[in-house]
Amino acid sequence: RYSFFQRLRFVGGVRYERTDFQVGEGDSTGIHTHDFLPSLNLSFALREDMNLRASYTHTLARPNMREAAPFASFDFIGGIIMNGNPDLKRTLIRNIDLRWEYFPKPGEVVAISGYYKKFIDPIIRQNIVGLGNPQIKYNNVDQALVYGVEFEFRKGFGWITPAFESFKFGMNFSYIYSEVDIPAVEYAIISSRNPEFNEPLRPFQGQSPWLINANLYYNGKTNGLDASLAYNYFAPRLTEVSENGTPDIYESTRGMLNFVIKKQWGMHFSASFTLKNILDTPYMKTYTYKGEIYYSSYYLSGRSYALTLAYHIH
C-alpha cells in the first residue's frame, strides 16, 4: 500500500491463480489455465466524512462440478435433468467501479455507485427442447456486458426523538443494463423462424434490470434485543435460454418480506425467531410466444418459521 498527498490513497496488487480442473480422462477436458488478476484501488477523501473511490480489477469464475460433469444429474427440487459439459471454460471478468460516499453520522451512509463488468466466456444455462423430461445443459458464449448504477441510503431515527435512537432504515436501488451475444448459429435459426427478430443480443442470465432492497433495523444496545424487517424486490430476469429458436424463459417479478428478532441474555444465552417469505409471493416462470404469455412453472413456496435457542461458550 502506498499513500501519497494527504487525502489520496492507492492500493494495488496482482494475484496469480493456476487452475487444474480435470473432469475426464486425458488432457482434452477440464480447465488448465494460468491467470494474473490485477487489482487497482484509488480513494480520495473530499472531507473527513466524504470519499470518492475508483477501482479496476480482474476476477474469474469457474464452473462447478455439476456444470462441468461428463454425465447427467437430477435436480430433485426442480425435477430437472442437468447435463454437464466437460468442455466448459472458466469465465474472466473485468470490473470497473466508481463510488461517491458520505457518512453523516457513525452507522449512516448516502452513496451513489456506478459499475461496469465485462465477462469473457460466461456460462449460460440452456433448455434442451423436444425431450420428454425437462432437461438443461451448460455452454459458454463469447462475452457479456453488465453495467449500472446503485443508490444506497442508511439513516437513523434519533433526529426525531432520542427514544428512536435504536432504529435505523436502509435501502438500495440498482438499475442495471446487461447483454449477452447470441451465437451466430442460434441467431440464424431464430431469425429464420421470426423474420421480425433483428436483435443479436439477450439479457444476461439471472440479471434483473432493477432491484430494490429495504431494511428497518432495531438495535437495543442496553436490552440485548435486535430485530430487522427486510424487503427485497426484483424485476423479471432471464433464467433459461432455449435452443432452436424456441422462446426463452423468464422468472417473473417477485417481492419477499422477511423478519428476524433476537434476544441476548448475558454472555451465554440467546434466542431468535425468523419468519421468511411473509407475503408468500408466487414463484412464476413464463415465456412469450406470438404475443401470448404462457406459464413454464407456477407455485407457492410457503412461509417458513424458525425458533433458535443457543448457548455460547466463551
The reported pLDDT for the residue numbered 70 is: 85
Beta strands 80-83 and 135-140 are parallel
The reported pLDDT for the residue numbered 225 is: 93
pLDDT tens-digit readout, 10-31: 999 999 999 888 876 665 677 8
Question: How much is the pTM?
Answer: 0.84
Q: Cite the DSSP H helix spans in 152-201.
A: 184-193
Note the residue count of the chain: 314
Beta strands 143-156 and 135-140 are unpaired
pLDDT tens-digit readout, 93-129: 999 999 999 999 988 999 999 999 999 999 998 888 7
Cell representation of residue 179: 447483454
The reported pLDDT for the residue numbered 26 is: 61
The reported pLDDT for the residue numbered 27 is: 58
CA dihedral over 292, 296, 300, 301, signed as positive or negative: negative
Sheet strands (E) in 252-291 = 254-265, 269-276, 283-289
Q: What is the pLDDT along the chain (314 residues), one digit of tens a residue?
A: 445 578 899 999 999 999 888 876 665 677 889 999 999 999 999 999 999 999 999 999 999 888 888 888 887 766 788 888 999 999 999 999 999 999 999 889 999 999 999 999 999 988 887 666 778 899 999 999 999 999 999 999 988 888 888 999 999 999 999 999 888 888 888 777 776 677 788 999 999 999 999 999 999 888 889 999 999 999 999 998 887 778 889 999 999 999 999 999 988 899 999 999 999 999 999 988 878 899 988 899 899 999 999 998 87
The reported pLDDT for the residue numbered 133 is: 73
The reported pLDDT for the residue numbered 205 is: 93
Number of Cβ within 10 Å of residue 86's Cβ equals 18
Q: Which fold has domain 2-311?
A: Maltoporin; Chain A (2.40.170)
Q: How would you label 198-233 residue by residue, b for 16+ Cβ within 10 Å and e otherwise?
A: eeeebbbbebbeebeebbbbeeeeeeeebbbbbbeb
